[in-house]
A and B are shown apart, each in its own frame.
Chain A
Amino acid sequence: MEFVIQNQKDTRSGFGEGLLEAGRRNPKVVAFCADLTGSLKMGDFAKEFPNRFFQTGIAEANMIDMAAGMALSGFVPFTGTFAAFATGRVYDQIRQSVAYSNKNVKIAASHAGITLGEDGATHQILEDIGLMRMLPNMTVIVPCDFNQTKAATLAVAEYDGPVYLRFGRPKVPNFTPVDEKFVIGKAQMLQEGTDVTIFACGHLVWRAIQALPILKEMGINAELINIHTIKPLDVEAVLKSVAKTRCVVTAEEHQRNGGLGDSIAQVLALNMPCPMEMVAINDVFGQSGTPDELMKFYHLDTPDIVEAVKKVVGRKQ
């Protein structure tokens, strides 16, 4: 498959466009935001649907529970804030009123991971996927570019149940086809291969794509699968691929603990043990820096994926 960069866009803008479109399609779609309307790109929705937009001020706990209360009456509320405040800060509210009560609340979380950049570790949450995927009833989605984030937002609006939708701040290559349908829970095959499977999500998908030609030159025929839905995980696709390649690299902008790598490791340990390497943050907090600097510093870049693949292929014997 050929990957063409259509433009450089932030995934959060994909959410903003998706939300606006979802609002036009369904009058029950409403949105809450805790004083980050610009950052979440929710301004267009707020302007077009002022009666369906709720500015909550800097009060995330209240926002989550109000959304749960509104979901009761058949509305489809999206809540918007940074991933750090959308998860850890309001875990108990999400746990009791959204996940346990199984309310149709969509938790939209921007500025996830270290690509938030200069704001530093207070805002660079790297634990959110783990927190959310531990909750029964919760669906966890991490799209990889602008187009996919927009499509995911539309799919999420149509899905009935709690969803955590994670996206980011920086402009990144936008390469998935415009208007490609997003199927929740269905892994996306990006390149078929035989020697190793790379499972990536979010911003790491493009970096993994860049690793493919490098690996090809080294004589490694890698399979690349975009796991945009961490939960429910497409177990069938994972096992089908690994049955063929017999070794795995995972790549994510998240802690090793609790993230995509953990999710895949659990499936493999139970069903198909095989060599595995994880490209992820390893039990440390982030720091200030530009997104690209940080991705290099924490070994989440293309060369790190290449190295992990070489290592895991070697372990296969």
Chain B
Amino acid sequence: MTINELERTATQVRRDIIRMVHGCQSGHPGGSLGATDIVTALYFDQMQIDPANFRMDGNGEDMFFLSNGHISPMLYSIMARRGYFPVSELATFRRLGTRLQGHPTTTEGLPGIRIASGSLGQGLSVAVGAAQAKKLNGDQHIVYVLMGDGEQEEGQIWEAAMYAPAKGVDNLIAIIDYNKKQIDGSTDDVMNLGDLHAKYEAFGWYVMEMSGNDMHAIVNILKLARENTHQGRPQLILAHTEMGMGVDFMMGTHKWHGTPPNDEQAAKALSQLEETLGDY
């Protein structure tokens, strides 16, 4: 896909996010909007996947895990737009009986989801396990995982961070959605994360940084990371993002972490996001 096409897709995803959380008056718009560009680039440009024939085992294709499951509207929109399930199903988000649960699950059988996430800190470990399975299977495809930055406060992250380089899990690309905000405020105030770049490097990862809201930069770094796989080390990308990206009044604050817009706010947000692919 061209950069322009990716950007237009991301814009529609952002519209979907606003409409989904507005529709059910719950959910997490801020982080979803911030991580949209990265995951759009993964699903529409970088990953080798077969959405029409979803396989739980992921054999013979790339795999993606969302560790910070609360930004599910972003993932659901991208998966639907990519063809995993009907776009119309986005309207059921968080409603009784839906396959689009508040946090991603496998119980309802939504194509594209391979494991539940929501309780933070687990996705990196799951991805390491899946990456090792690929090695055992002789499958050259790659495992991607997206984590939150606040999530780095979970101890389990560092268990996995220690394991992956020690065991040479080099078919793994982990990305941190580094928006420097969490529910209670800025990460600096809640729990200073320190130098994440240096920390992961010290654990033995190959670390790169990028702007997580610049499609050119994202595609370039993701390509580079892909070329770097199978060279002995896991890779981490620190993606500098803006929570609420694309909607001016949702940016620069943690207020929209888990708060849906009201009718007026939703209308205002949507007026800033062009309907590029047709609303669901």
- The chain A residues found within 8 Å of chain B, CB to CB, are 30, 51-52, 54, 56-57, 59, 61-62, 64-75, 77, 92-93, 95-97, 100-103
Additional 18 contacts, C-beta under 8 A, given A51-B136, A69-B132: A54-B132, A56-B163, A59-B159, A61-B125, A65-B156, A66-B160, A73-B137, A74-B57, A96-B117, A96-B119, A96-B122, A97-B115, A97-B122, A97-B126, A100-B106, A101-B105, A101-B115, A101-B116
Q: Which of B59, B125, B137 contacts A65 (CB 8 A)?
A: B125
The 7 closest A-B pairs by CB, nearest first: A69-B129, A65-B125, A66-B129, A62-B159, A73-B133, A59-B159, A69-B126
Q: Which of A61, A64, A73, A101 contacts B106 (CB 8 A)?
A: A101
A56 and B160 CA atoms in complex are apart in Å by: 9
B130's nearest neighbour on chain A, judged by CB, is: A69
Min CB distance, B170 to chain A, in Å? 16
Interchain residue pairs with CB less than 8 A apart (29): A52-B136, A54-B167, A61-B121, A61-B159, A62-B125, A65-B126, A66-B126, A66-B160, A67-B129, A68-B115, A69-B65, A69-B115, A69-B125, A69-B126, A69-B127, A69-B130, A69-B132, A70-B129, A70-B136, A72-B63, A72-B114, A73-B57, A73-B136, A74-B57, A93-B125, A96-B119, A97-B115, A102-B106, A103-B115
A109 and B223 CA atoms in complex are apart in Å by: 43
A67's nearest neighbour on chain B, judged by CB, is: B129
Tell me which of B106, B137, B159, B166 has the highest count of chain A C-beta atoms within 10 A of its own C-beta.
Answer: B159
A57 and B166 CA atoms in complex are apart in Å by: 10
Q: B162 on the interface (CB 8 Å rule)? A: yes
In the complex, are the beta carbons of A66 and B136 less than 8 A apart?
no
Q: Mark B130-150, 1 if CB is under 8 A from A, else 0.
A: 111110110000000000000
Using Cβ atoms and an 8 Å threshold, which residues of chain A touch B58? 72-73
Asked if A74 meets B122 with Cβ closer than 8 Å, knowing A100-B116, A102-B106, the reply is no
Q: B118 on the interface (CB 8 Å rule)? A: yes
A57 and B130 CA atoms in complex are apart in Å by: 18
Min CB distance, B144 to chain A, in Å? 13
Min CB distance, B22 to chain A, in Å? 28
Q: Which of B59, B118, B131, B162 contacts A59 (CB 8 A)?
A: B162
Q: B74 on the interface (CB 8 Å rule)? A: no
In the complex, are the beta carbons of A30 and B125 less than 8 A apart?
no
A90's nearest neighbour on chain B, judged by CB, is: B156
In the complex, are the beta carbons of A72 and B162 less than 8 A apart?
no
A102 and B115 CA atoms in complex are apart in Å by: 9
| CB under 8 Å from chain A, chain B span 148-179 | 155-156, 159-160, 162-163, 166-167
In the complex, are the beta carbons of A72 and B125 less than 8 A apart?
no
Q: B107 on the interface (CB 8 Å rule)? A: yes
Using Cβ atoms and an 8 Å threshold, which residues of chain A touch B159? 57, 59, 61-62
A100 and B58 CA atoms in complex are apart in Å by: 19
B128's nearest neighbour on chain A, judged by CB, is: A66
In the complex, are the beta carbons of B130 and A96 less than 8 A apart?
no
A58's nearest neighbour on chain B, judged by CB, is: B159
A30 and B135 CA atoms in complex are apart in Å by: 13
In the complex, are the beta carbons of B126 and A68 less than 8 A apart?
yes
Tell me which of B57, B125, B136 has the highest count of chain A C-beta atoms within 10 A of its own C-beta.
Answer: B125
In the complex, are the beta carbons of A59 and B122 less than 8 A apart?
no
A100 and B107 CA atoms in complex are apart in Å by: 7
Min CB distance, A48 to chain B, in Å? 15
In the complex, are the beta carbons of A66 and B163 less than 8 A apart?
yes
| CB under 8 Å from chain A, chain B span 33-77 | 56-59, 63, 65
In the complex, are the beta carbons of A73 and B115 less than 8 A apart?
no
In the complex, are the beta carbons of B133 and A62 less than 8 A apart?
no
Using Cβ atoms and an 8 Å threshold, which residues of chain A touch B63? 72
In the complex, are the beta carbons of B59 and A70 less than 8 A apart?
no
In the complex, are the beta carbons of A73 and B59 less than 8 A apart?
yes
In the complex, are the beta carbons of B162 and A57 less than 8 A apart?
yes
Q: Which of B116, B160, B166 contacts A97 (CB 8 A)?
A: B116
In the complex, are the beta carbons of A66 and B132 less than 8 A apart?
yes
Using Cβ atoms and an 8 Å threshold, which residues of chain A touch B121? 61
Using Cβ atoms and an 8 Å threshold, which residues of chain A touch B59? 73-74
Q: Which of A30, A65, A77, A100 contacts B105 (CB 8 A)?
A: A100
Using Cβ atoms and an 8 Å threshold, which residues of chain A touch B155? 61
Min CB distance, A105 to chain B, in Å? 10
Min CB distance, B186 to chain A, in Å? 26
A110 and B65 CA atoms in complex are apart in Å by: 31
Q: Which of B107, B114, B116, B163 contacts A62 (CB 8 A)?
A: B163
In the complex, are the beta carbons of B107 and A102 less than 8 A apart?
yes
Q: Mark B83-123, 1 if CB is under 8 A from A, else 0.
A: 00000000000000000000001110000001111110110
Min CB distance, A93 to chain B, in Å? 6
Q: Which of A59, A64, A96 contacts B116 (CB 8 A)?
A: A96
